[in-house]
Amino acid sequence: MKALIPAAGLGTRFLPATKAQPKEMLLVVDRPVIQYIVEEGLASAADEVVIINSREKKSIEEHFSPNPELVATLRERGKDAYADIVEQVGNYNVSYVYQDEPLGLGHAIRCAHENTGGEPFYVLLGDVLVPDNKMLPRMQEVSDAHNGASVIAVMPVPDDHVSRFGIIAGAAETDDVWKVDSLVEKPALADAPSNLAVFGRYLLSPRVMELLADVEPGVGGEIQLTDALDAVLNEEEMYALVIDPADGFDTGTVESWLETNNVLFRRASEQKK
């Protein structure tokens, strides 16, 4: 089973910081943000992470490549703890496919169709951080309890944020699990069926990957993953895990990025005490 991480976006909201450096390589406390996402993927049931990259973002691949010269230099200087970390990151099981045109999230995911091998797969969006790595295992449990159905993470958002997200319609099955009836990408508040927003973590059936081949451009002229999820509901069940705002951090804007850094830095400092 694979964990897919789309990373081919332009990082427009972070310009000028992202002019020469991918957004995924920006620092959160002590490592580039994509390292948290890769580590979360590898901590799940996935055996490999597939990064859907653009050909301009080679520094992402360099970050996850072995660097024996650097490791040797660090060891010569007695800096073994750093050498160990560099070695570990260079050995993560990460591979790459390329999205050569910016046609949307659904298109990015479809670029990895040969990698998923007709199996269920995870999708992890890089603008959401889940530092305790517990969300994907919990989603897997919900899926296992419902015959392998797709499961998406959702979070309640205030009215003025609804139009920034994919929004679900459905009914609560338990305190934190909803059965999904439909999804709509970035609705106007008046058209939003709930305030439960899709929050960057998906466990998807192989049928979603097949349907993505035929999804027409939607909101923003882009091929939307949300539209494939809505389409698969004609054939299969889907569930939503309602996550606690304390479990996931939005890093999609400069403001939320800085706030995430502050919270995680404080947490790391507390743990060191």
**According to the binding rule CB under 6 A, does residue 226 interact with ligand G1P?**
yes
AA letter at 12: T
Give 206-212 contacts, CB < 8 A, sequence gap 24+: 206/116, 206/118, 206/119, 206/120, 206/121, 207/232, 207/235, 207/236, 208/150, 208/232, 209/109, 209/110, 209/113, 209/116, 209/121, 212/106, 212/107, 212/109, 212/110, 212/113
Token pair listed for 114: 């040969």
Stretches 87-95, 222-230, 237-245, 257-265: which one binds ligand G1P (CB under 6 A)?
222-230
Residue with tokens 């005490």: 273
- Least gap, CB of 229 to ligand G1P (angstroms): 9
DSSP secondary structure letter of residue 12:
G
Give the x-and-dash track for 115-144 against ligand G1P (CB under 6 A).
----------x--x----------------
Residue with tokens 């310009």: 15
Compute how many residues bind ligand G1P; rule: CB under 6 A: 14
Among 64, 199, 239, 257, binds ligand G1P (CB under 6 A): 199
- Least gap, CB of 215 to ligand G1P (angstroms): 12
- Least gap, CB of 120 to ligand G1P (angstroms): 19
Nearer to ligand G1P, 38 or 74 (CB): 38
**According to the binding rule CB under 6 A, does residue 40 interact with ligand G1P?**
no
The site for ligand G1P (CB under 6 A) is made up of: 105, 125, 128, 165-166, 185, 197-200, 224-226, 252
